[in-house]
Structure 1
Amino acid sequence: MTKRFAATAAFVLLSTVTVSATDIGATFTSACPFGDCAAGISLSYLGEFVIPSGQMEHGVEFGGISGLDFDAATGHYIAISDDRSDKAPARFYELDIDVGASGLKGVSVVKHVTLKGKNGEPFAAKTVDPESIRLGKDGIYWGSEGDAKVLLPPFIRVTAPDGSFVREFPLPEGFAPTADKLTGIRDNLAFEDLAVAPSGDVFVGVEAALYQDGPKPSLTTGSLSRIIRFDGKTGEPKAQYVYPVSPIPQAAATAAAGNDNGMSEMLALDDHRLLAVERSYAEGFGNNIKIMMMDLAGASDISATPSLAKNDQRVVPARKSQLLDLRAIGLVPDNIEAMSLGKAKDGTDVLILGSDNNFSTSQKTQFYAFKVLSRPQQ
């Protein structure tokens, strides 16, 4: 997604920094998120690698990285580009990420694969907005954000390794864009997030509230994002939950300048705990990236709630707790939209973050790596 520009949950920062944040080996620990010490997580910084905008790979401009996942079969990563078939047909990449105990050394492109529509052909320009990608049990799961301006619905599809269409998940009622903007997705704030749990269940999140669920984030109020839980095997929706996006953390340089905040990615740790990226931007300041942990255990199923703004029933949102504020630990993040657990070359468990450069010369494709020292226990 191009992102340049009160129902919130309180969170507690429990991180401890052992050395300078930008040093390899700096450690960040959240011992008891939500007061639950079984959910503790500890990360060690392994560095940054940047691919400048404009770099050509296999005859195609590289960029727009909006989703990332690890393929244990190859030891490589798959990364989706949010190019709307403008610079080249919509596609995902296979990446070799060189990371180990000594740090993040490089990211190279192995190949790219063209995504195909139901007709077996590449997507025409402006007919798709790829934003997320995960490996599932029967193929590669990926999401398109849609385009509310032209009433193009979002979707989640499964593709084969060669990019060909396999199946599509049904879109629950209330998510399709509408001309009157009374219900449905907001433009550029739709299916940005995708996670696959160990059980095979698939989680899909919108970046900020649907029109019927309340406002998008402001400097003083948060936003109620919906998360859909699908049965990965059947593709049928099983539940919906509320994720409370925080208020915009930083004002823009002037009142007329733009700023925003939203959930730009999710990653399943188990069948109820997920990591989420809250990505904000303020003109004159830049991006602010926070990594949250959420827990869906005990959260209300809102599948039968057509509007959160016009609802008199009790709703329990997902619990969330802040794990990392990248700026607060001394990093200068770009537009982080991708997140994956994976394996380093030496077998170490790692967490990789990636940014969408929007194919802009003022931005960059940026990767951060962290060693996973410990993670939640069931």
Structure 2
Amino acid sequence: MFKPFSITLSLFLLFIQTAAATEIGTTIETPCPFGDCQAGIGLSYLGEFDIPTGFGENGVEVGGLSGIDFDPASGLYIAISDDRSERGPARFYHLDIDVGASGLKGVTILDHVTLLDKNGLPFMSKGVDPESIRIGKDGIYWSSEGNAKTLIPPFVRVAKPDGTFIRELPLPDGFAPTDDKSTGIRDNLAFESTSFLPSGDLLVGMESALYQDGPITTLTNGSLARIIRYEPSTGVQQAQYVYPVSPIPQAPSKSGGWNDFGVSEMLALDDHHILAVERGYAQGVGNSVAIEMFDLEGATDVSGIASLANTDRTIVPVRKTQVVDLRALGVAPDNIEGITLGKAKDGTDVMILVADNNFNPTQKTQFYAFKVIHRPQ
């Protein structure tokens, strides 16, 4: 178990809080999503805090934070880096987030833990692509997108707090990458999100569609991303659901420019209401980030359907509705990839978002905090 008081003071660094256009206390209410007032959610903005690209902790650059979770036992947070063991070993960080009812004051990077492979060694360069991290009852669950170009499958593994490998969950049929791209994951669009339901099951979400399930998002059409539901202690698959990813919300500023959109993380509120972060980028315009609520109730189990694009069965995807659009809220979001619920030191229930800076000097490791006024639970 991580002991925060064993960390030397030399590893602590507190950054100055950045100003945001949105005032502290601005509220966002979704009183009756899907017409269900029992599923209502209310949030209050607590501020933004940025760590500039290039900051190092113990000789390793901090960046690529693509997943975050709260540890109620210590009151600290863990955040995983999507560094493919190129700038440093595949790793996760311990963070102390200074947030309360009065706002988000700072983020302290305490230390990092190296994630080890099945042989107890650090991963080789480009041998892994970490994306999401959650604290489970029997260890730390983390996902890798794999590498479709080199036919490395995605995975979800369980590690000890010191990063040591414990086990890996079975990969369902149809997810492994293929040479001819007829089935399986697309590169960099695989196991982007994880979340535990309060009942104990683990959700593992794709960023976009498998090859056999149809195209990725465009400006005019969405995409069908699968969500796997596991019983985590046994690794037995319970179901698969379809999440309808929204079309790309904005075009690049110039013809031929680059843009994208996909699901970067999930966060369960109760056993069927889940938040999803949909985020993307349009060249010359910037990032778009929307938090959606979706509902598993009534969704079709598609685990027995080999191709969503080629089936005679009627498929009911999860239903969803938007909770907040960060740009519309008045902030300037970067590449938001992590979301978690936490507890502030003053007892405030909070929701924390974190951005992956892609180790790019024009981007930043960005945190947003919201007070949770009420939510389904």
CA distance in 2: counterparts of 1:343 and 1:151, whole angstroms: 40
CA distance in 2: counterparts of 1:336 and 1:81, whole angstroms: 13
CA distance in 1: counterparts of 2:34 and 2:21, whole angstroms: 24
Q: Residue 349 in 1 paired to residue 349 in 2?
A: yes
SS of 1:347's equivalent in the other structure is: coil
CA distance in 2: counterparts of 1:91 and 1:200, whole angstroms: 25
- For 1:8, the equivalent position in structure 2 comes to none
- For 1:243, the equivalent position in structure 2 comes to 243
- For 1:110, the equivalent position in structure 2 comes to 110
- For 1:4, the equivalent position in structure 2 comes to none
Runs (4+) off by over 4 Å = none
Q: Could you give the per-residue CA deviations for residues 134-176 of structure 1, whole angstroms, max 9, x where no partner exists?
A: 0011010000011101111000000000000011000000000
Q: Is the 8 A contact 1:200 1:233 kept in 2?
A: no
- Name the amino acid aligned to 2:321: S
The CA deviation at 1:21 is 6.9
- For 1:190, the equivalent position in structure 2 comes to 190
The CA deviation at 1:275 is 0.4
Q: Is the 8 A contact 1:71 1:135 kept in 2?
A: yes
- For 1:217, the equivalent position in structure 2 comes to 217
Q: Residue 321 in 1 paired to residue 314 in 2?
A: no
The CA deviation at 1:227 is 0.1
- For 1:304, the equivalent position in structure 2 comes to 304
Taking the TM superposition and a 5 Å limit, the aligned residue runs for 1:1-378 are 22-377=22-377
- For 2:15, the equivalent position in structure 1 comes to none
SS of 2:149's equivalent in the other structure is: helix
The CA deviation at 1:347 is 1.0
CA distance in 1: counterparts of 2:190 and 2:362, whole angstroms: 25
Aligned pairs, number: 358
CA distance in 2: counterparts of 1:291 and 1:30, whole angstroms: 11
SS of 1:150's equivalent in the other structure is: coil
CA distance in 2: counterparts of 1:250 and 1:352, whole angstroms: 25
- Name the amino acid aligned to 2:41: I
- Name the amino acid aligned to 1:147: N
Q: Is the 8 A contact 1:230 1:238 kept in 2?
A: yes
SS of 2:212's equivalent in the other structure is: helix
Q: Is the 8 A contact 1:43 1:372 kept in 2?
A: yes
Q: Could you give the per-residue CA deviations for residues 238-283 of structure 1, whole angstroms, max 9, x where no partner exists?
A: 1000000000000011221100110000011111111000001100
CA distance in 2: counterparts of 1:285 and 1:346, whole angstroms: 38
CA distance in 2: counterparts of 1:236 and 1:363, whole angstroms: 39
CA distance in 1: counterparts of 2:280 and 2:52, whole angstroms: 22
CA distance in 1: counterparts of 2:151 and 2:340, whole angstroms: 31
Extract unaligned runs of 5+ from structure 2.
1-19
- Name the amino acid aligned to 2:276: A
CA distance in 2: counterparts of 1:126 and 1:236, whole angstroms: 29
SS of 1:328's equivalent in the other structure is: helix
- Name the amino acid aligned to 1:159: A
Extract unaligned runs of 5+ from structure 1.
1-19
- Name the amino acid aligned to 1:172: P
- Name the amino acid aligned to 1:207: E
SS of 2:327's equivalent in the other structure is: coil
SS of 2:329's equivalent in the other structure is: coil
CA distance in 2: counterparts of 1:332 and 1:172, whole angstroms: 38
CA distance in 2: counterparts of 1:182 and 1:221, whole angstroms: 21
SS of 2:120's equivalent in the other structure is: coil
CA distance in 2: counterparts of 1:32 and 1:273, whole angstroms: 12
Q: Could you give the per-residue CA deviations for residues 35-69 of structure 1, whole angstroms, max 9, x where no partner exists?
A: 11000000000000000000011111000000000
CA distance in 2: counterparts of 1:46 and 1:301, whole angstroms: 38
The CA deviation at 1:312 is 1.2
Q: Could you give the per-residue CA deviations for residues 199-255 of structure 1, whole angstroms, max 9, x where no partner exists?
A: 110000110000000000000000000000000121111100000000000001122
Question: Relative contact order (alpha carbons < 8 A, sep ≥ 6): 1 or 2 greater?
Answer: 1
- For 2:16, the equivalent position in structure 1 comes to none
- For 2:17, the equivalent position in structure 1 comes to none
CA distance in 2: counterparts of 1:100 and 1:345, whole angstroms: 7
CA distance in 1: counterparts of 2:329 and 2:88, whole angstroms: 37
Q: Could you give the per-residue CA deviations for residues 4-25 of structure 1, whole angstroms, max 9, x where no partner exists?
A: xxxxxxxxxxxxxxxx971000
